DNA sequence: GATGAATGAGTATTCATTCAT
DNA sequence: GATGAATGAATACTCATTCAT
């Protein structure tokens, strides 16, 4: 349970920023627009954030933190490795399908060119990455997965695959159901394409 | 055969931009910096490109066009579907491993937030996408791949997987060999992780 | 006897301002910094002063008032005009030498560009000016000074001379004794440079 | 002869700044106002000056340079020391009386609180200072001045005196003739006030 | 075609001042 | 009286784009 020590306005600004960034992208978003969206004065933003970029960074950390939390709550140790992997994919797809602003944030804004930012994101995602790797290792131990694959590489391939599916769905205009792709996706991860 | 109708300066500017964008990112790159790098006057750029953004777009089109060309040249109809898929992965990894500026461009800059840009990129990549899909369909027909997977979905999963491997390699500081990952990657695509 | 009708906080703020202004100059001094220095809340300052500029004005008036008071107390009617003039110079130099913040205030901050402010300062200094003029006139009457100089002009020349000596001493980094200059200064005022 | 290497716009901006600074003071002068006064675009200013403050600095240097030049041209070695001193005072008073904007600049703006700036001004004035000291020393050698005064101190007293006379004249609203004060001023410097 | 000096629109950030508590 | 969180006006500076030469 995360006790929210931060004042309401902090979150109001983040929510405003989430909307404005999703609509215009970081660079085309004006601070004053975020302030208006959050219902505060321009200057108030600077009581909570040092620079415009800090809003983006904090937004990532808060939102990715929440997301990672959901993965950790949704996936239990009692599940079979395969079931756990499916759960991960379900949560990944459904959370983003149900929160289009968050989807924009993660699939589009997250890919900023700033190397520093990328590395911060990496940290925020670390727990998610570890969760997937743990499942893979557990599957190997339990014998439900092949014993001979490189966990780190496969983790990248699985994460990258899901990520691309979400991005494609987003860019295409969300014309189809993302959660409907969970089954076939897991099927591919498990069996590959070899007959 | 690409008959280069464009004057030398056009390409000089693109090469300058490739370097400058890779070093600073699109938004932090000044047009005058690109001009200096290309050895032309600031104003000259506007004889070849309408806006700063057009440089980026043209750069994508030229560079992705060359890349796609390499895929098409490297992958023959005579190859088995499996061999073709491996060839695709080989080219994908080796071309980016051998051209770090291009890698930055595709893995980092390509992910700018502009939706329009993303769609243009989609078009530039279309032939690559089709190439992969053709291989998948050929494999199905030939019986070397399973007959029951969704080609479009699997294409996303394969492309996304490779893409993530490249990005991870790039962000980590290119500490290991990217081409060494071709074998295990294709192995995963073929067999999945099921024992 | 100055009955201090003003509450302690009024003076606390002025002392804080004296320090902050001396360190940063008026324009680069933040009100909140003065508040912190004075140990009060930002808003409290506005219970005692209408605007930031008023702090400066009040500071001048208080400090110059004290200074003028010292001149009036130090210089008696019983003294010879020459002795009185020397006393003025002694007090002028020693008071500023012994209070470096006050020296910064009078020699640097006092010279702000605001015409209104300059005129207020003129008023605050009026009693000092009159004191000097009185001495000059008394000297003329007593016959200890020449009868044929313009009192107002000479007062400017004397005041300006002392002022420049102080400023020079301050800017040079207070490397030498200011009070040691009293003798030669008065000597020049009395005899000029003619042999 | 100073060959003006700088382009016209450089001087146009300085003249605009001289006017605007004199009217409003440095801190209350907007860059865009200076640009308008100079007949150039806002951005053009930054082709010639790095920061707003640089305009002020350059202005000082140019204007004080011109002024010092006039002193050096007006005062010859053939003059008696006394005549030379009178010439200095004449030029000092008449140049400022005839150029009210310059008077504001030197008497008001020059007294900014920035220590760095003050020291730059000191350098720009150095040649003037040396000129006065040379006259004083020549007078001592020639026997037309007393042999026993401190040149540096007397230079401060003379410069400070003249300076105060100018400032007083300026603040009072230029109600009287400044040049009419030359005679009595020199008289005081020569003879002091002793009978 | 080529130049690069000139343009001027656009915006993050600061900080004096207010006012609900 | 005292507080300090909130306000929002104000502006130096950048840089993509233009256009006279």
**By CA distance, what is B22's nearest residue in A?**
A113
Least reliable range by pLDDT among A50-64, A114-128, A135-149, B65-79: A114-128
The answer to whether C118 CB is within 7 Å of strand E is: no
pLDDT at D4: 59
Chains D+C touching (3+ CB pairs under 8 Å): yes
For D53-191, the fitting CATH number among 3.30.70.360, 1.20.1080.10, 3.100.10.20, 1.10.357.10 is: 1.10.357.10
Chain B 5-44 residues whose Cβ is under 7 Å from strand F = 29-32, 42-43
Taking the C1' atom of every nucleotide in all shown strands and the CA of C35, the nearest one is F4
Of the candidates B72, B77, B81, the residue with the CA atom closest to the CA atom of residue B151: B81
Taking an 8 Å cut-off on Cβ atoms, the answer to whether A195 and B144 are in contact is: yes
pLDDT at A1: 38
The average pLDDT across A132-141 equals: 95
CA distance A168 to A171: 5
pLDDT digits (tens, 9 = 90+) for B68-112: 999 999 998 899 999 999 999 999 999 999 999 899 888 888 777
CA distance A57 to A51: 10
Tokens 């009072």 correspond to: D172
Report the share of chain B in percent with pLDDT over 70: 96
**Count of C-beta atoms within a 10 Å radius of residue B32:** 11
Q: Which residues from B are below 8 Å from A183, CB to CB?
A: none
Cβ–Cβ under 8 Å, residues D2 and D67? no
Token code pair at residue B75: 């992958």
Would you call C162 exposed, middle or buried from its count of C-beta atoms within 10 A (0-12, 13-18, 19+)? buried
Nucleotides of chain F in contact with protein CB (under 7 A) are 1-20
pLDDT at D190: 96
CA distance C84 to C82: 5
* Helices (H), ranges, C143-175: 151-171
Give the CB-side neighbour count of residue A186, counting CA atoms within 13 A: 18
Taking an 8 Å cut-off on Cβ atoms, the answer to whether B192 and A190 are in contact is: yes
Taking the C1' atom of every nucleotide in all shown strands and the CA of A44, the nearest one is F6
Token code pair at residue D156: 């401060």
Taking the C1' atom of every nucleotide in all shown strands and the CA of C42, the nearest one is F4
pLDDT at A3: 47
Q: Which residues from D are below 8 Å from C165, CB to CB?
A: 153, 156-157, 160
Counting other chains too, the contacts that B6-13 makes at CB distance below 8 Å and 24 or more residues apart are: B6/B48, B7/B48, B9/B38, B9/B40, B9/B44, B9/B47, B9/B48, B10/B48, B12/B38, B12/B39, B12/B40, B13/B38, B13/B40, B13/B44, B13/B45, B13/B48, B13/B49, B13/B55
Would you call B112 exposed, middle or buried from its count of C-beta atoms within 10 A (0-12, 13-18, 19+)? buried
Interface of B with A in 166-195 (CB under 8 A): 167-168, 171, 181, 184-185, 187-195
Cβ–Cβ under 8 Å, residues D3 and D45? no
pLDDT at D123: 84
pLDDT digits (tens, 9 = 90+) for D127-162: 899 999 999 999 999 999 999 999 999 999 999 999
Taking an 8 Å cut-off on Cβ atoms, the answer to whether B111 and A115 are in contact is: no
pLDDT digits (tens, 9 = 90+) for B9-57: 999 999 999 999 988 888 889 999 999 999 999 999 999 999 999 999 8
Fold of B56-191: Tetracycline Repressor; domain 2 (1.10.357)
pLDDT at C111: 76
CA distance B40 to chain A (A): 26
The sign of the torsion formed by the CA atoms of A57, A58, A63, A64 equals positive
pLDDT digits (tens, 9 = 90+) for B162-183: 999 999 999 888 999 999 999 9
Q: pLDDT at residue C1 above 50?
A: no
Which residue among B136, B163, B185 places its CB closest to the CB of A153?
Answer: B185
pLDDT at A147: 93
The average pLDDT across D154-171 equals: 96
Taking the C1' atom of every nucleotide in all shown strands and the CA of D44, the nearest one is E6
Considering the domain A1-49 in this protein, what is its CATH number? 1.10.10.60
Least reliable range by pLDDT among A122-126, C30-34, C153-157, C165-169: A122-126
Q: pLDDT at residue A138 above 90?
A: yes
What is the signed CA dihedral for D124, D127, D133, D139, rounded to 10 degrees?
A: -150
Say what angle helices D81-97 and D52-74 make with each other, to 10 degrees. Answer: 140
From residue D6, how far is each of A7, D2, D13, D62 by CA, in Å?
56, 11, 12, 11
Taking an 8 Å cut-off on Cβ atoms, the answer to whether B188 and A119 are in contact is: no
Taking an 8 Å cut-off on Cβ atoms, the answer to whether D119 and C171 are in contact is: yes
**Count of C-beta atoms within a 10 Å radius of residue D25:** 18
Hey, is D145 helix, strand or coil?
coil
pLDDT digits (tens, 9 = 90+) for C88-100: 999 999 999 999 9
Chain B 96-155 residues whose Cβ is under 7 Å from strand E = none
Interface of C with D in 134-163 (CB under 8 A): 136, 139, 143-147, 149-150, 153-154, 156-163
Distance D116 CA to E13 C1' (A): 26
CA distance D193 to chain C (A): 5
The residue count for chain C:
195
The average pLDDT across C2-23 equals: 87
CA distance D55 to D29: 11
Cβ–Cβ under 8 Å, residues C159 and C129? yes
The average pLDDT across B127-134 equals: 93
Q: pLDDT at residue B193 above 60?
A: yes
The answer to whether B98 CB is within 7 Å of strand F is: no
Q: Which residue is nearest to nucleotide E2 (CA to C1')?
A: B44
Q: H helices then E strands: how many in chain D?
A: 9, 0
Distance D8 CA to F21 C1' (A): 18
pLDDT at A111: 76
Cβ–Cβ under 8 Å, residues B88 and B131? yes
Q: Which residues from D are below 8 Å from C108, CB to CB?
A: 111, 113, 118
pLDDT digits (tens, 9 = 90+) for C33-49: 999 999 999 999 999 99
pLDDT at B51: 95
Q: Where in chain A is the domain with CATH 1.10.357.10?
A: 53-191
Of the candidates A70, A25, A57, the residue with the CA atom closest to the CA atom of residue A124: A57
- Write down the mean pLDDT value for chain A: 91
Give the CB-side neighbour count of residue D88, counting CA atoms within 13 A: 30
Cβ–Cβ under 8 Å, residues A26 and B111? no
Better pLDDT: C115 or D105 = D105
Q: pLDDT at residue C114 above 80?
A: no
Taking an 8 Å cut-off on Cβ atoms, the answer to whether A192 and B191 are in contact is: yes
Q: Which residues from C are below 8 Å from D125, CB to CB?
A: none
Taking the C1' atom of every nucleotide in all shown strands and the CA of B49, the nearest one is F17
Cβ–Cβ under 8 Å, residues B140 and B146? yes
Taking an 8 Å cut-off on Cβ atoms, the answer to whether D164 and C144 are in contact is: no
Q: pLDDT at residue C2 above 60?
A: no
Q: Which residues from C are below 8 Å from D118, CB to CB?
A: 108, 171
CA distance A107 to C36: 45
First-to-last C-alpha distance (Å) of chain A: 46
**Count of C-beta atoms within a 10 Å radius of residue D159:** 20
Q: Which residues from B are below 8 Å from A149, CB to CB?
A: 184, 187-188, 193
Distance D46 CA to E4 C1' (A): 15
Interface of D with C in 3-32 (CB under 8 A): 25-28
Q: Which residues from A are below 8 Å from B184, CB to CB?
A: 149-150, 153
The residue count for chain B:
195
The average pLDDT across D105-114 equals: 79
Interface of A with B in 96-115 (CB under 8 A): 108-109, 111-115
Contacts of B194 (CB under 8 A, 6+ apart): A145, A146, A190, A191
Q: Which residue is nearest to nucleotide F6 (CA to C1')?
A: A44
pLDDT at C4: 59
pLDDT at C146: 92
pLDDT band at B119; cut points 50, 70, 90? confident
The answer to whether C36 CB is within 7 Å of strand F is: no
Q: pLDDT at residue D112 above 90?
A: no
Say what angle helices B8-24 and B31-38 make with each other, to 10 degrees. Answer: 130
**By CA distance, what is B111's nearest residue in A?**
A111
**Count of C-beta atoms within a 10 Å radius of residue D74:** 16
C-alpha A29, offset from chain centre:
21
Taking an 8 Å cut-off on Cβ atoms, the answer to whether D164 and C150 are in contact is: no
């Amino acid at each position: 349970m995360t006790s929210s020590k931060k004042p309401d306005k902090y979150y109001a600004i983040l929510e405003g920023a989430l909307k404005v960034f999703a609509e215009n992208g970081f660079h085309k978003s004006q601070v004053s627009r975020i302030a208006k969206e959050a219902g505060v004065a321009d200057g108030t933003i600077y009581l909570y954030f040092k620079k415009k970029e800090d809003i983006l960074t904090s937004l990532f950390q808060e939102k990715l933190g929440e997301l990672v939390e959901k993965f950790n709550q949704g996936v239990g140790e009692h599940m079979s490795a395969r079931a756990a992997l499916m759960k991960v994919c379900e949560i990944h797809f459904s959370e983003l399908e149900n929160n289009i602003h968050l989807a924009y944030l993660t699939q589009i804004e997250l890919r900023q060119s700033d190397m520093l930012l990328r590395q911060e994101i990496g940290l925020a995602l670390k727990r998610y990455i570890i969760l997937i790797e743990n499942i893979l290792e557990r599957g190997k131990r339990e014998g439900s997965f092949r014993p001979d694959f490189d966990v780190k590489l496969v983790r990248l391939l699985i994460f990258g695959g899901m990520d691309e599916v979400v991005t494609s769905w987003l860019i295409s205009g969300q014309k189809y159901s993302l959660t409907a792709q969970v089954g076939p996706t897991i099927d591919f991860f498990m069996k590959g394409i070899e007959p």
